[in-house]
């Protein structure tokens, strides 16, 4: 599921400019980051579906790589989105890139039709060899049940992008109705056609800087 450009970028902007993390989420953040890399909750998703998307409006251009992962037999899964965006000035792409990701417990590609909405995420952590961060629930008015994290740092953004494209990362997450953390280990990279579409969009952003 790929969201609209304006909604995605507005959420990223709010995430980038947000204040200190909310206190009720600190325990979940600590548990996710301090857990051993291969603890008991680590799962290898049986299904991984990639989809690239390009959204553009007068305010910004957004490149998206969505990854639905989980197990269709149980209906359990999460939807991960890598987002790289650039604002426009007088209709021309300009300024720094915003690199971000969102994670949602709703994964329509994995969940059977007619399934009820799963419990919302309390937090999620993206963990790779060279980039680690925690995503927290979005603030109002952008609250939609997903969690998000973003950065304006080019070096951090590059590490995040490369970890996703190489499928060398792990998603650790906790649900609001659970005290324990679970994890998906990602090891299958995007197929060539998806990678080509996403890379082409990234090239259109970086070439304009």
C-alpha span between 200 and 171 (Å, rounded): 26
130-139: pLDDT as tens digits: 999 988 887 7
Q: Is there a contact between 86 and 78 (Cβ–Cβ < 8 Å)?
A: no
Length of the chain, please?
A: 209
Query: What's residue 90's pLDDT?
Result: 87
9-26: pLDDT as tens digits: 444 444 344 444 443 344
Q: Could you tell me which residues are beta bridge partners of residue 103?
A: 80, 147
Which phi and psi angles does 148 have, rounded to 5°? -145, 155
What is the CA angle 175-119-134, rounded to 5?
A: 35
C-alpha span between 121 and 206 (Å, rounded): 32
Helical segments of the chain, H only: 5-16, 26-34, 154-165, 192-206
Concatenated DSSP letters for 13-47? HHHHT--SPPGGGHHHHHHHHHS-TT-TTEE--SE
Q: Where are the strands (E) in 72-167, listed by range?
A: 76-89, 92-104, 121-127, 132-137, 147-151
Query: What's residue 137's pLDDT?
Result: 81
C-alpha span between 42 and 26 (Å, rounded): 21
Asked whether the predicted pLDDT for residue 31 surpasses 80, the reply is: no
Return the minimum-mean-pLDDT range out of 102-106, 124-128, 196-200.
102-106
Query: What's residue 30's pLDDT?
Result: 44
What is the pTM assigned to this prediction? 0.77
Query: What's residue 13's pLDDT?
Result: 46
Q: Could you tell me which residues are beta bridge partners of residue 124?
A: 135, 173
**Mean pLDDT over each residue of the chain, to the nearest integer:** 78
Report domain extents, the chain: 5-206
What is the CA angle 137-74-176, rounded to 5?
A: 25
Q: Is there a contact between 188 and 48 (Cβ–Cβ < 8 Å)?
A: yes
């Amino acid at each position: 599921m790929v969201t609209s450009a304006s909604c995605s970028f507005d959420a990223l902007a709010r995430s980038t400019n947000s204040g200190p993390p909310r206190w009720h989420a600190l325990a979940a953040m600590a548990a996710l980051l301090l857990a051993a890399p291969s603890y008991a909750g680590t799962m290898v998703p049986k299904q991984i579906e990639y989809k690239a998307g390009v959204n553009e409006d007068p305010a910004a251009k957004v490149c998206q790589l969505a990854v639905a992962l989980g197990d269709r037999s149980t209906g359990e899964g999460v939807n991960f989105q890598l987002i790289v965006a650039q604002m426009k000035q007088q209709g021309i792409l300009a300024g720094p890139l915003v690199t971000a990701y969102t994670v949602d417990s709703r994964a329509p590609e994995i969940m059977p039709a007619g399934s009820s909405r799963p419990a919302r995420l309390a937090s999620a952590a993206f963990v790779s060899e060279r980039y680690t961060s925690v995503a927290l629930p979005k603030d109002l008015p952008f609250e939609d049940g997903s969690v998000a994290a973003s950065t304006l740092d080019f070096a951090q953004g590059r590490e995040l992008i490369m970890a996703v494209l190489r499928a060398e990362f792990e998603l650790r997450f906790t649900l609001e109705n659970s005290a324990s953390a679970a994890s998906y280990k990602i090891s299958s990279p995007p197929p060539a056609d998806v990678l080509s579409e996403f890379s082409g969009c990234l090239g259109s952003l970086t070439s304009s800087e």
